[in-house]
Amino acid sequence: MLDNREILEKTEMKRTVWDVVDYVNWLFSKALDRNASDIHIEPTEHFLLVRFRQDWDFVIVDKIDKDNISPIITRLKVLSRVKIDENKKPQDWKIIYNYEKEWKNIDIRVSTLPTSYWEKVVMRILKPDATLTSIDKLWFIDSNLEKVREALKSSYWIILVAWPTWSWKSTTLFWVLKNYNPLEYNISTLEDPVEYQIDYVNQSQVRPDIWFTFATWLRSLVRQDPDIIMVWEIRDKETATLSVEAALTWHLVLSTIHTNSATATVQRLINMGVETFLLSSAMRMVISQRLVKKICTHCKKEKVVPEHILKIVKEQLYPIMDKSEVDSLVFYEWEWCEKCNNTWYKWRMWVHEVLIMEPYMEEMIIREASANEMTEEAKKHWMITILQDALIKSALWETTIEESLKLI
Ligand SMILES: [Zn+2]
């Protein structure tokens, strides 16, 4: 299989694009046909590199003469009616593209950033239905899904989704939000940026330039009679404290924080300076999630697992599964096939860690136990770790052992 560098070297450079209007349309429809999430047009020293982010990997689409950049950007600006002559500053705008194949309008968010050669263009395709509805259960295993559903019933507690970069936190947040009918609750969100409009949800966008921040928004929101509050991200003590206070005054607060595990999220909030006695009573659940590659169902083949790897798998799974069941597990690996579309895998999926607040954890928060100690104790209380979850999914032939072990 060729890697991207080899593909790029073999790709012939087009001197001119045949017609800029056609070319831009062709790019959009090709990206949508392939279900790509982003279109990148990157100026390099000798040419423009056109790539799609597709199934989470970059796929090279085209290599064209760099003289084409200016007409392409002008065309994009015309489509969205923004200033054509501005190219020294980063710009963001939106295009509405009519995707004829599916008879619908697709929002495309365009961002340009000056680089040493010219402006680099990144276009994010916003397909609301793909993101909000087609992901069944978000790949929660049954026992975790049950915990999440139970926690969501007991509203008025704070819920956090830990997210290392690129783990699609907004999908999880909106998935949680979709459990509530906006006509029965007053739902307010502050997002950065607002990507998907949801009917009857009061969505606002952060504007630090005019002092419209998470903290100022949260303070004003108290007077807006909210039931459910979604804070895009907790980055500082002030936002953390205000979120905890909102949760303690009977609001369901949903938010995200940048950490690597469920217990690290608790630690992070303690380190930010949130009072432990408030935190222990406000928090209800932490969902931590990471992405792994999903195995291609068309070319998977049974894997002979080496003894030393099998030892790790058993160590992880014995405490949560029947021993004889673990011993009889079968794992798979992939082979290259046409269906994987040169990416070896078809899609990505999540693995999770769901930490439910119980008296033992409240006690540990108050005495500020370490994250490791919290994890060990949580495991005794049936928390399935991210690694265990990934290995379970490997045994269910959804991902592979190799992918799981990358999480260590
Ligand atoms: Zn395949």
pLDDT (tens digit, 9 = 90+) per residue, 85-104? 777 778 888 888 888 777 77
pLDDT over threshold 50, residue 130: no
Lowest-confidence range among 51-55, 177-181, 342-346? 342-346
Residues 105 and 152 in one domain: no
pLDDT over threshold 60, residue 129: no
CA of 339 to the centre of ligand 1 (A): 5
Residues 198 and 121 in one domain: no
Of 98, 126, 154, the domain-final residue: 126
Of 126, 147, 168, the domain-final residue: 126
CA of 1 to the centre of ligand 1 (A): 13
Residues 207 and 69 in one domain: no
Mean pLDDT of the chain: 85
Residues 300-311 have pLDDT tens digits of 889 999 999 999
Residues 59-69 have pLDDT tens digits of 899 999 888 88
pLDDT, position 197:
78
The more confidently predicted of residues 312 and 106 is: 312
CA of 341 to the centre of ligand 1 (A): 8
CATH of residue 161's domain is 3.40.50.300
CA of 6 to the centre of ligand 1 (A): 21
Query: pTM of the predicted model, to two decimals?
Result: 0.71
Please name which of 222, 230, 247 lies closest in space to residue 187, comparing C-alpha atoms.
230
CA of 12 to the centre of ligand 1 (A): 27
Most confident segment among 102-116, 157-171, 204-218, 379-393: 379-393
Residues 285-304 have pLDDT tens digits of 999 988 888 888 888 889 99
pLDDT, position 322:
87
CA of 331 to the centre of ligand 1 (A): 16
pLDDT, position 131:
42
Residues 104 and 149 in one domain: no
CA of 58 to the centre of ligand 1 (A): 17
Residues 105 and 162 in one domain: no
CA of 334 to the centre of ligand 1 (A): 7
pLDDT, position 135:
43
Residues 266 and 157 in one domain: yes
CA of 132 to the centre of ligand 1 (A): 26
Residues 111 and 230 in one domain: no
Residues 315 and 172 in one domain: yes
CA of 398 to the centre of ligand 1 (A): 13
Residues 99 and 198 in one domain: no
pLDDT over threshold 60, residue 111: yes
CA of 245 to the centre of ligand 1 (A): 50
3-state DSSP of the chain: CCCHHHHHHHCCCECCCCCHHHHHHHHHHHHHHCCCCEEEEEECCCEEEEEEEECCEEEEEEEEEHHHHHHHHHHHHHHHCCCCCCCCCCEEEEEEEEEHHHCEEEEEEEEEEECCCCEEEEEEEECHHHHHCCCHHHHCCHHHHHHHHHHHHCCCCEEEEECCCCCCHHHHHHHHHCCCCCCCCCEEEEECCCCCCCCCCEEEECEHHHCECHHHHHHHHHHHCCCEEEECCCCCHHHHHHHHHHHHCCCEEEEEECCCCHHHHHHHHHHHCCCHHHHHHHEEEEEEEEEEEECCCCCCEECCCCHHHHHHHHHHHCCCCCHHHHHCCCCEECCCCHHHCCCCCCEEEEEEEEEECCHHHHHHHHCCCCHHHHHHHHHHCCCCCHHHHHHHHHHCCCCCHHHHHCCC
Of 126, 150, 185, the domain-final residue: 126
- Residue 157's φ and ψ, nearest 5 degrees, are -130, 160
CA of 238 to the centre of ligand 1 (A): 48
Structural domain harbouring 172: 131-405
pLDDT above 70: percentage of residues in the chain = 92
CA of 125 to the centre of ligand 1 (A): 25
Number of folded domains that form the chain? 2
CA of 340 to the centre of ligand 1 (A): 4
What is the mean pLDDT of the segment spanning 225-252?
Answer: 90
CA of 344 to the centre of ligand 1 (A): 6
CA of 387 to the centre of ligand 1 (A): 24
What is the mean pLDDT of the segment spanning 354-360?
Answer: 93
CA of 390 to the centre of ligand 1 (A): 20
CA of 295 to the centre of ligand 1 (A): 8
CA of 184 to the centre of ligand 1 (A): 45
Residues 320-339 have pLDDT tens digits of 888 888 999 999 988 877 77
CA of 91 to the centre of ligand 1 (A): 39
CA of 7 to the centre of ligand 1 (A): 19
Residues 230 and 288 in one domain: yes
CATH of residue 120's domain is 3.30.450.90
CA of 322 to the centre of ligand 1 (A): 31
CA of 294 to the centre of ligand 1 (A): 11
CA of 348 to the centre of ligand 1 (A): 14
Residues 360-383 have pLDDT tens digits of 999 999 999 999 999 999 999 989
pLDDT, position 56:
62
Residues 121 and 220 in one domain: no
CA of 336 to the centre of ligand 1 (A): 5
The more confidently predicted of residues 44 and 86 is: 44
CA of 347 to the centre of ligand 1 (A): 11
CA of 305 to the centre of ligand 1 (A): 20
pLDDT, position 272:
94
pLDDT over threshold 80, residue 245: yes
Residues 209 and 258 in one domain: yes
pLDDT above 90: percentage of residues in the chain = 34
CA of 360 to the centre of ligand 1 (A): 45
Lowest-confidence range among 33-47, 80-94, 145-159, 162-176? 162-176
CA of 352 to the centre of ligand 1 (A): 25
Q: 178 falls in which pLDDT band (50, 70, 90)?
A: confident
